[in-house]
Amino acid sequence: MSQEINPVAIHFAEDGTLARVIPGFRPRPQQAEMAGAISRAIKGNRVLVAEAGTGTGKTFAYLVPALLSGGKVIISTGTKTLQDQLFHRDLPAVRKALKVPVSIALLKGRQNYACHYHIQHSKTDGRFMNREDVHYIQQISRWMERTQTGDKAECAEVPEDATVWLAATSTRENCLGQECSFAKECFVMQARRNAQEADVVVVNHHLFFADIMLRDEGMAELLPTFNTVVFDEAHQLPETASLFFGESVSTGQILDLARDTRHECIAAAKDFMPLQDATRSIEKAARDLRLTISGENARFGYAQMGDNLEFHKAVDALEAEFVEFLRLAESQAERSEGLEKCWQRASVIADRVARWRKMMEPDLIRWVEVFSQSASLNVTPLRVADIFKKQVEGNAKSWIFTSATLAVGRSFEHYNNELGLSQLEVPPETAVWGSPFEYGEQAMLYAPEGMPDPNSMSYTDAVIDAAFPVIRAAQGRAFVLCTSLRAMQRVRDGLEARFEKEKLDFPLLVQGQGSRTELLERFRRLGNAVLVASQSFWEGVDVPGDALSVVVIDKMPFAPPDDPVLKARVEWMEKQGRNPFMEYQLPRAVINMKQGAGRLIRSERDKGVLMICDPRMLTKPYGKRVWQSLPPMRRTRVLDEVVSFLEQLPSPASPRP
């Protein structure tokens, strides 16, 4: 970056605008420099890709220039948690400090807003999963009388992951739109109107891409035309873009369609039994399709399904059932808005199933994913670079991409190539700002000696053996992050046995016991817990303070080599004479590793140990790329040094009630 005058530095000074209004604000040179670079990119209508280490304060670094820019700004985040924090806390604070008359709006996906129509129908029809939901729907109804936004995050009485929300919210497929009798009161419509009128709109990546898809289809825009877009947690964009620029249809969607059609029949076409019978036939066809694939939480390429004749017969049978279902649904569509919507939904789903069967384009990947109760047929683009590049060239004037993990070393080549940014007429500017934390004092990176090959049968047991004395020295207070669900369960069982044998009273939590929010709250409150988790906890998790003193990572987080999307991309790169491991698989693993490592030090007073068990980090030439990308912690291979470091930390706090 050229050393230009920093037009916003004054706001970040010790006696500056932010310090005078925001309690606890402390100037950080990295934050002021980053804000200056973003300000120049906005004024120059440029693309900036910026990595800012944990603790830099990147939120204020982009909010100040964004609010001062005078144009329409969209801020897109990777999580709803950060969305809420930006809208409810950070944006109002910065707006107050800068004294700028900027209007702000929060826009989430429609499944986050309570729906008057579906709540009324659910109460009338009694379509609930369990008794708890019957109680919850009454709580939601009472809350609906006083809420201004309809955002389910504000309904404290009902957990956000309660199954009742499926009956209390709408989807794009089952929303009646302007035909709905509750259109005037609709919270989704109100949120969209607010977004259209606001100067700054806070969305998430999924909603941003959903809007891009609607624009490309020539449909109404959710979001206003904007001058600047800021992507926070931008490392997630390649994956999210792949999801939205592809296509998917699941057996779960078909079951929902059948259920909704049956309810609409009871309400408006009770005398026409053939359609109700057809809903049961199509349900059976969807369930039969799922039963043809063994296993769960697995992905299969189309070629892998070649020998599964039962699967192909089931897809044919499903398509045949849709022909009859569509004929019957169309014949009753005029009897109510709900039935017409069901017919339209059925047409879309039937088209997707038909396209999936016939898809032959070489730049698209066909694959199947199975869960415990459902299966999905998916199409994913081989690469999103060309598609995303068109969006950058055809929309906003300035694009800002920022995260704590975008670079490999100090290179953004991998990231820019994935999103097509390196092919822009004017290549993006890039910058890295390191964390202000004193990693050499605050943290130790421990790579245990004598670890076996990560592919060996005994590897997970060796991880347990190596991690146990570290966890004991830390008096619990640990995350153990695993790269697979199988390893997670084995580590959990192994640690439980060790804790019982040694009579150690460390509460053992495991991913899946509750929602991520619930588990984190328990972890913080207990003060000496050990949380064993997989992918869900590698990023977006913030536990500052003494409750977390150790993060153990079992292996370098490479994507499974048999993943159908990865396999297709690797083959495509190999045909071009490129090295997919060095250009694609390793950079992704480095970024994921940096995310996992970033869970440890979250504030200036945090101290702890990052333990990476994978011996390849030191024995393989490519491991050095990972080693060099991690924060500059004190490094050791000696267990006694780790134990000594941990024993000097304050004892864990007593659990809060």
Q: Is 647 exposed, middle or buried (0-12, 13-18, 19+ CB in 10 A)?
A: exposed
Distances (CA, A) of 563 to 292, 368, 568, 569, 576: 20, 11, 9, 10, 20
How much is the pTM?
0.91
Arithmetic mean of pLDDT, 184-200 = 93
Distance, CA of 148 to CA of 141 (rounded, Å): 13
Does the pLDDT value for residue 218 go beyond 70?
A: no
Q: What is the pLDDT of residues 375-433, one digit of tens each?
A: 999 999 999 999 999 989 987 789 999 999 999 988 999 999 999 999 999 999 999 99
Q: Kindly indicate the confidence band of residue 336, based on its pLDDT and cuts at 50, 70 and 90.
A: very high
Q: What is the pLDDT of residues 466-500, one digit of tens each?
A: 999 999 999 999 999 999 999 999 999 999 999 99
pLDDT value of position 654: 62
pLDDT value of position 364: 94
* 537-562 exposure pattern, b = at least 16 Cβ within 10 A, e = fewer: bbbbbebeebbbbbbbbbbbbbbeee
Q: What is the pLDDT of residues 339-353, one digit of tens each?
A: 999 999 999 999 999
Distance, CA of 474 to CA of 596 (rounded, Å): 19
pLDDT value of position 442: 96
Which element (helix H / strand E) includes 356? helix 337-358
* 465-479 exposure pattern, b = at least 16 Cβ within 10 A, e = fewer: bbbbbbbbbbbbbbb
Distance, CA of 309 to CA of 208 (rounded, Å): 39
pLDDT value of position 3: 53
Residue boundaries of the structural domains of the chain: 9-103+198-242+384-433, 110-184, 247-381, 439-647
Q: Kindly indicate the confidence band of residue 2, based on its pLDDT and cuts at 50, 70 and 90.
A: very low
pLDDT value of position 1: 46
Contact between residue 182 and residue 113 where contact means Cβ atoms under 8 Å apart = no
pLDDT value of position 514: 82
Q: What is the pLDDT of residues 84-119, one digit of tens each?
A: 999 999 999 999 999 999 999 999 989 999 999 989
Count Cα neighbours of 338 within 13 Å in the Cβ-side half-sphere: 18
Structure tokens belonging to residue 493: 């069982």
Chain-wide mean pLDDT for the chain? 92
Does the pLDDT value for residue 219 go beyond 60?
A: no
Distance, CA of 402 to CA of 393 (rounded, Å): 19
Contact between residue 431 and residue 261 where contact means Cβ atoms under 8 Å apart = no
> Under 8 Å CB-to-CB from 592, ≥6 apart: which residues?
538, 557
What's the chain's Rg over C-alpha atoms? 26
Distances (CA, A) of 423 to 136, 370, 390, 406, 410: 51, 36, 10, 18, 19
Question: What fold, for 247-381?
Answer: Fumarase C; Chain B, domain 1 (1.10.275)
Mark residue 218 as left, alpha or beta (left: phi above 0; alpha: psi -120 to 50; beta: remaining).
left
Mark residue 103 as left, alpha or beta (left: phi above 0; alpha: psi -120 to 50; beta: remaining).
beta
Same fold, 9-103+198-242+384-433 and 247-381: no
Does the pLDDT value for residue 435 go beyond 60?
A: yes
Q: What is the pLDDT of residues 275-324, one digit of tens each?
A: 999 999 999 999 999 999 998 889 999 999 988 999 999 999 999 999 99
pLDDT value of position 210: 87
Question: What fold, for 439-647?
Answer: Rossmann fold (3.40.50)
Q: Is the dihedral of CA 20, 25, 31, 35 positive or negative?
A: negative
> Which of 234, 243, 244 has the alpha carbon at shortest distance from 78?
234
Facing residues of 402 across strands?
A: 50
Q: How many residues comprise the chain?
A: 657
Arithmetic mean of pLDDT, 353-366 = 92
Distance, CA of 576 to CA of 479 (rounded, Å): 41
Q: What is the pLDDT of residues 22-47, one digit of tens each?
A: 998 999 999 999 999 999 999 999 99
| CATH code 3.40.50.300 for 9-103+198-242+384-433 | yes
Distance, CA of 556 to CA of 627 (rounded, Å): 11
Does the pLDDT value for residue 329 go beyond 90?
A: yes
Q: For the sheet containing 478-481, what is the strand order?
A: 508-510, 530-533, 478-481, 550-553, 608-612, 443-446, 634-636
Q: What is the pLDDT of residues 587-616, one digit of tens each?
A: 999 999 999 999 999 999 999 999 999 999
Does the pLDDT value for residue 636 go beyond 50?
A: yes
Q: Kindly indicate the confidence band of residue 121, based on its pLDDT and cuts at 50, 70 and 90.
A: confident
